[in-house]
Structure 1
Amino acid sequence: MRLSDVLSKAPDNTTFQVESFLGSRNIGWGKNKKISVGRVALNYFCLKCEDNRTFMSGDELSCLITSEKIISVDASLRCPICLSSVETWFLVGSTEGFFTPAPYVFLERYTEQRRNSATRVRGDDSGFEDLLERAQLAYDHRLGAGSMVYLRQIFEAITMQVANAVDIPTTTARGKRRQFRDLLEEVDRQHRIIPAEFSNNRYQLFSELSEVIHGDSNESEALRKYQPCRRLILGIIHSVKNSGEIMVAMDSLGWGTGGSTAVTTTGEATA
């Protein structure tokens, strides 16, 4: 594996072994070096092309040595069609140091500046692209609790949407909003919006998100939990999209993937 393969997985911070790219001789602190480690490739929705594109870096990247075990890598990525650019910055760590024959490396931090060129990939998230985008931006800027707020909003909103679409009451007989646990259980029992892999723990995901939001976890714990929680949220979104019955009902209300669904800051859906 080359360093570009690791950077192309951003913001994944898994440790990988890569080919040597700095050589065996130590390079002093503060020194810059051009490195040839392959081309970094990240997927975005190009705003100019109005389509999903793989933005690519050049053949050389700029590397700043900050210590034997930390380097900073800058890369400019371009849309292959319109040449719109995204600036990216990677802080890369190594468990044993970079000046070894095959160093183990991991992404310690990742930041990007997309300006008005691109957003995250669109087209497969059933109208929740904006909240997913905000969640990812918060995570990229190391705002763990903030990222989890948006994930919980999606969870609440999609449950409410399905309930409204299939005529499951969302309020009590006295007109008060139902407890989310009860609503989720009824929606999932009747229409299986939770993937089978974690259906027995359907409310635990909401609890994890809520604990972070209400201050029962620190920021590092929130950041650690973000990626797995996001994958579970995406699983719910895709489960709903794959349900023909639910999608027919939501389309009839104008809530389909091409509809005008909006989500308020409280997580309630409006059309």
Structure 2
Amino acid sequence: MTSRPVRVGLQLQPQHAGYQSIRRTAAEAEELGADILFNWDHFFPLNGEPDGLHFECWTMLAAWAESTSRVEIGALVACNSYRNPDLLADMARTVDHISDGRLILGIGSGWFERDYAEYGFEFGTAGGRLDDLATALPRIESRWGKLNPPPTRKIPVLIGGGGEKKTLRLVAKHADIWHSFSDPETLEHKLGVLARHCADIGRDPAEIEVSVVGNPDTRDRMYELGARLFTVHTSGPEHDLSDLRDLLAWRDKLNA
């Protein structure tokens, strides 16, 4: 069983609210004690009014780097398809410096077809997008080694997704954090798959922090299975932080 402390994330979804409201909510989440503040990397709302208010991921992360002081920040998750990997590495390094070493690079292969169609990216196939991610991750790591100045720390890489043949192999090789949307039964199975991928390359799976949705009905079982990062979300127009407050109280009890 992992000895990691429980951490709590808030995904502050950049939809259906003006930026000043998003900024105030980010500040409140940090004051309440959230460990990580996430947004997401899309160009349109994922629920509610499909053409509602929406803001871009990485410019927002740079703003959060200046407007917050303690909480870690990142995307849950950045889409590999939308940026050249070397550029993404440079963007991440820059936000890492702006934030004094608080950036997490969350990354995935992409899935929301409207983003691709309207912004002119090739959608292709799920398998092809995962192959592109496999090519991108070593380029990102290589670019970090060439940048001047280098990142302030080894930037943690969070990979989202649960595909057993490709995604979990990439998690084993590259990730510091693995984010899963699984239910407990599925998570238990996929942790076994991940452990086998780690064994194949000689990595201790305990090095990888397991990240899940902070559902009150499943979080105790997820904790038993080894999950240590639990994230809830809020969206505009009214940013309700009651789920975050509840999750923080649960975290503090477990970490006491």
Identify whether the pair has TM-score above 0.5, normalized to the shorter chain: no
Q: Considering Cα pairs closer than 8 Å and 6+ residues apart, tell me whether 1 or 2 has the greater RCO.
A: 2
Higher-strand-fraction structure = 1
Give the greater-gyration-radius structure (CA). Answer: 1
TM-score (norm 2): 0.26
TM-score (norm 1): 0.25
Higher-helix-fraction structure = 2
